[in-house]
Amino acid sequence: MAHAIVEWTANLEGQADIHGLLELIAAAMRDSGGVFPWGGIRVRAVRLDDYVIADGKADDAFVNITVKMGAGRSAEFKREFFTALFERIKAHFAGLYASRFLALSLYVEEADESGSFKHNNIHQRFKKAP
């Protein structure tokens, strides 16, 4: 399980390549060497039309990414993977960051398996035949 939820402010419409960001995140997860099973990867974006940033007086914008994953990945993997991912995210927004006020954030949460319920047959598509 690796789910990424991208929240982005509506004032980035037409300026930010949000779908490209989703593709970037999904590709990084697929390229994790099997740490994130492909059938459990979900990456989605939610446009925020109602928000207040800082003093609410400027045309500030933000993109917040929350990754939810099952427990069990080592601290070293998480540090290396998410540091590299955040660097790629910052590079993705570098031009926009240079031209306007923009806050980027990435939070990683581990799901408590006792409170996680799943029913998914997508994994079957990626199992190798004997």
pLDDT in tens, 79-100: 999 999 999 999 999 999 999 9
Rg (CA), the chain: 16
pLDDT at residue number 1:
79
Q: What is the pLDDT of residues 45-79, one digit of tens each?
A: 999 999 999 999 999 999 999 999 988 899 999 99
pLDDT at residue number 86:
98
Residue count of the chain, please give it. 130
Overall pTM surpassing 0.85 (yes/no): yes
- Chain-centroid distance of CA 97 in Å reads 18
The dihedral through the CA atoms of 4, 76, 30, 94 has a sign that is positive
Query: Helices in 17-74 by DSSP H: which ranges?
Result: 18-30
Q: Which domains does the chain have, with CATH numbers?
A: 2-126 (3.30.429.10)
